Structures are given as structure tokens and as C-alpha cells.
Structure 1
């Protein structure tokens, strides 16, 4: 038996392979998958092109939306007309108000336009924002704080009637004392507030709500400064004008709604044209008045006020140099004589209780004497 290992290889028969065929059977798998994907894409594109269905074949169901309103009586009422809703007293107390807003985008109803007084009595158009706070200015239409915040006399003066103005100073530091004076004094008495009180905004607002005209006291350097010190932010001689104006802006920003200013001391300062002129020029540019307290005969206030078109007047008499009833009554009698002689007179007094009480009693009998009480601005040129 012949060994197979010894059989020559050339002697074996081979299976023939057809021409053009590979050694693998059937079509390749990759070609089949490609054909299936191509058929799906072509079918999807054909559906998009030939079928008008915005929902993409998703199932839909129509339902009436009006049927839900029938179960809500409030919604039905609102849809057909106005409805009245009673508020819970615990959440909305009686006497309160509702702020309504204009649908066109306007401000709330209790916010005043820029040309009308705000809640605190000030007019936004007459206010300028500074680093120290808002200070007075002339409005874009030319209205001045003096004209806007001055108070007309309660009764128009009859021809030939002597007019008396009284200015009460030193208000605002003692809140309760200031409020008592505001309540007691006649409306025609002008009130001057010091710039240092902690409750100035509310106290001044109370004064204006009570019908009083308001002025701001500004501290000016006296001859014996600093032994006699009018207070913080006193305007001083010899300082650069910018430094004194910065102090003036601080003082003017303490509260609003005042028609003008009145000096507190200042005999040295008001006698110095170089120092006083920039201040008076600023007052004129801002439309404020100036009252000179009459304490110094060397004051240049009359000339500087005229040169800067500042409404001005000068106090004729201090009423309570001696703060007792009899001396105050005597000073008021002298003021009456001056008003009859000159047609008008201005007196100044502090907010001491005895001064306030005596002046209040005196004012009640003034009409019977042929004289009348007027705000200080009525006597300012």
C-alpha cells in the first residue's frame, strides 16, 4: 500500500472555481444593509413630498374650549362684564387706597408729574441731584423755588393796611418743640429751620402741610468765630469759593420746599464781598430768596442781592432778645408802630415756648388794630 505522504502533489485533482466568483458564498452583509437604508430614506422623502400632514402623522383630537367656562362663575362674570370683589378687611384695612397704574405705561396715580408737588411738597422740576442730595434749582420752564414755595397771605391786604411778617428761627433741632410751634403759630408766620435736625424731612413736611412758608438757615462766620460757632458746615471767610459752595450745597440738601435762606450769625462773612458774592450769585442762579437777619449793619446783602436779582428783605427787629412775656409784648408793639409808619415791618424770634405762646396770643388781636400778618416772602423785593 503506497504511503500518501509519498504521493506527488501534482497527482491530486482540484475543484474548479467559476470565473468572476470569490471564494465566499452569497452577497456581502454590508451591501444588504446599505440597500435597506436607502429604501427607507427614499420612502420618507417621498412621503414628505407627496403627503400634506403638518402633524407628521401624530394622532389628534379636537375639543371645545368654551365648555370649561361654564363651571367658573367668576370667569364668566369677568368675560361678560365688571365684577365686584370684596377684600378681606384683615388684608386691606378700611380707609386705605389702591394705586392704579395706567395701562399705557404711565406712573402710579399717586406719583406727581415733574411739574406738580410730590408727597413731601417739593416739585421735582425744581430739584437738582448732587453728591450731597437734591438741592433747589430753576425749572426748565423758568419757575423759581422762591415763586413756587412762597405762600400768599391768607387774606389779600387792603390798600393802606400795615403788614407785619414774623420769622421764627431755630426750628427742626427739637422735633417735639418744633411740632408744637407749627401747630400753635398762625399760618402766615414764616418758619426757618436749622439744617441739623434728625427728623428735618418730616418736620418740614408738617410745617408745609400746616400752611407755613419755610426758609433754610445757613450758618455764616461771625467776628468771634470759633468761640461763637453757628454750627457744622459754617461758611468761612478766606476759604476758596469752591469750598464754601460745597458747604452751601450740603446745607441746601438737608430738606426741600423752602423759598429762600436766612443767615445764622455771619457778621464777618456778610461784610466780605469776596466771600459773600459767590454765595449770593449761587442763590440767584437757583432762584432762591435771601433774608438778612438784621444783626449786622455792615452786611453787603442788600447790594449783592440786587446785583444778582435775589428776592431780598431785611429784618427790622428781634422780638425776643429778652425772652419773657412783657418784653416780647413791648417789642411787638414797637413792630406795630414801624409797620404803620413804613407800611410794613419784619420781626424775628426764636422757637422758645414763651415766644411762640406770646406771639400766638398777639396775632389774634392784630386785625382789630388795622394791621395784618403776612408771610415774609410777601415783603421781599
Structure 2
């Protein structure tokens, strides 16, 4: 007998095995299970697609468009001011109040925009035969305020560094403007060349400016500060002409600084005449501290002129190590009293030492400010 395995021998030839009907309960269970599995798989795939695992969607790229030249480090979006900065004080009403004194300065009233900092305010200019002279505006605005470099207003040690004698050497002046940080105040000698051009460059860089005025020393004219020297015995007309020649040499400065002048700064009549002129024009005065006999502080207070005096001369010895030690001395004064003013000249060694020292002083919490920030101003009391 032949063995046909599982084949049903009695099934008609040509017919396959009998299939279950779709309506069979077992078939329905299989179909439902398959459908459910498909739904679950679809849901999981959707969730996986929506989930941000940090791999499918890379972080957006930030593209910076380079500019041709960085702007000078001066506050942006600032407008001219005609008088002192706007200050709001919040003070405790009693010993039980928790708030301490807070000083808020209005950034819009601090200084001028870098793009226009080199342009003199027409309201603060008086035309003359000697060039544009500084003056108060009709509403009392002062060059001392309009051209001042802004500062934070925060408490702490503050130092003003003034580098003078600029304009006499073209290469030295250019290097001083390029290398010195914008916080350094620059003082120009009236006998210098291209002062208006250097003024514009310095102001665009953010520097506050002073004009140096030659004053009569002892043993004049054997010791001669140069053209336009103000003397004790000059008649009023000569005095006025010499002063206006100096003041008209450039614009956009906040005040004057004496150049020499040991005899002049000790003479009451001469200093009164000078301070009256500065008060009328809205300018400040910086005493270089070279004469112990100077009466500039009392005469400035009497006339209502913003006044400051140098604490340290940093480059009487033109050696880097000594200059750095003098700057450290200014820092000690500032930490003890709140502020100090250091003065020097535009020598290469001074410029390099000052630049390096400022970089480190900032890390120690020292704020470098313009001369005007440290002046005793009778109009801001």
C-alpha cells in the first residue's frame, strides 16, 4: 500500500484543503490582534517623531555679520546734554527703612554719540577772531557738561589719568590716541599743530579733553612756557587776547589745565581774572599740583568753577617701573579717599605703562574716569 503522508486519499483530485471562513471566530481574533498591533506601532512612531531628543533638530545657527571697523568704546545712543547729568536719588526716610541711597544716572543725558562727539555744540560756541571759543548756552548749559566722558556713577575707587603735552609731536599724539584707553583724559598744548584734527580723532575714540593754558612761572621770561602765556602784570586787554588765543585753538574740551605758572597761580588778582572767565564760559580747572602755593582751589570755589587737583605726577622719572609705582600710589590714594587724579606727559614709556596698568586695575575694581567726574562742581551740590 502506498504511503501518501498527510494527504487525504479520499479528497477529489484538484481540490486543495478546505479554508476557514472569514467569519470564523478564530480568524476574527487574529485580525483584531494584528490591527491593534498596527495602531500601537503607528502611535509609537508618531511620538518618536515629535520627541525632540536634540539629535533630529540641530540648534539654530547665529550668524554675525562683520563690520569694517569696530566703533570706539563710547556709550551708544547718547544725546548731547546742556547741563549736568540727570540724577534720581532714592533715600531711606528713617533708620528703619531698608533701602539704601541709590544714584541713577540717565544714560540719555550723559554724553554724545561717538558719531557726533567731534562736532562742537553750536549753542556752546562763540565765534571770534581767534577761532570758536567755548561759552555757556542761553539756558546755562556748559561745555564742562556737554563734552564730559560718562561714568558708571557707582561707589568705589575712581581714578582720572590725564596725559598732557599732546599736539606738539604728531607721531606721539597719534600714538597716544590710538594706544591709550578711552577713559584717559587727554590734554593738548596750544602751541601744537593740527589740534582740530587731533581733537576730532580723540573725541571719536571717546576721550575727554582738556586745554593746557601756559601761565607765568617764576623767573619769566627766562623760563618761558610759550606763546600766549598769561602773566600777572598783563593789562586786561592783553590778558584777554592771550587767553582767547589759547581757548580758540580747538573745541570740545571740558576745562583747562595749567602749564607751569608757579607765580601766576599764587597771585590773587590774576587767578580771580582767570576764574571769572572760566565761570562765564562754563569751563572747569585742573591744577597740576606742581605748586604748593597755588590758590586755585579757593578762587575756583569763589567763582563757581568746577575744580580738581592732581594727586600724583607719574612720570617725573621717565622709567616704566617708576611710572607703575606712581600709578600704584594713585590707587592707594583712591582706595583711601575714594578718588585720585594722576597726570603725565605723552611719552612713549608713559603711554605704554598707563595702558598696561589700566588693564590690570580694572580687574582690581578700579574705575578709570574722566577728569570732570572728580571735579568739585559748585553747580552740582
Which has the higher Rg, Structure 1 or Structure 2?
1
Q: How does 1:26-41 map to 2 (within 5 A)?
A: none
Distance 1:370 1:132 in 2: 43
Aligned residue number for residue 128 of structure 2: 130
Distance 2:303 2:181 in 1: 32
Root-mean-square deviation (CA), in Å?
Answer: 2.0
The alignment status of 1:277 with 2:272, answered yes or no, reads: yes
Q: How does 1:1-381 map to 2 (within 5 A)?
A: 120-153=118-151, 156-159=152-155, 161-381=156-376
The CA deviation string for residues 104-135 of structure 1, in whole angstroms up to 9 with x for no partner, is: xxxxxxxxx9x899684211110001121210
User: 1:223 touches 1:266 (CA, 8 Å); kept in 2?
Assistant: yes
Q: Secondary structure at the match of 1:267?
A: coil
Q: Secondary structure at the match of 1:291?
A: strand
Change (3 A) 1:344 1:243: same
The CA deviation string for residues 68-100 of structure 1, in whole angstroms up to 9 with x for no partner, is: xxxxxxxxxxxxxxxxxxxxxxxxxxx9xxxxx
* Moved beyond 3 Å, runs of 4+: 115-120
1:344 CA displacement = 0.5
1:158 CA displacement = 3.3
1:197 CA displacement = 1.9
Distance 2:269 2:306 in 1: 21
Q: Secondary structure at the match of 1:264?
A: strand
Change (3 A) 1:119 1:169: closer
Q: Secondary structure at the match of 1:335?
A: helix
Deviates most, 369-378 or 355-364: 369-378
User: 2:117 touches 2:203 (CA, 8 Å); kept in 1?
Assistant: no
1:242 CA displacement = 2.5
1:157 CA displacement = 4.7
The CA deviation string for residues 361-381 of structure 1, in whole angstroms up to 9 with x for no partner, is: 000011222322111110001
User: 1:157 touches 1:372 (CA, 8 Å); kept in 2?
Assistant: no
Distance 1:370 1:125 in 2: 38
Distance 1:217 1:119 in 2: 20
Distance 1:119 1:354 in 2: 28
1:296 CA displacement = 0.6
Gaps of 5+ in 1: 1-94, 96-112
User: 2:166 touches 2:189 (CA, 8 Å); kept in 1?
Assistant: yes
Q: TM-score, normalised by structure 1?
A: 0.68
Q: Secondary structure at the match of 1:181?
A: helix
Distance 1:307 1:351 in 2: 33
Distance 1:195 1:172 in 2: 8
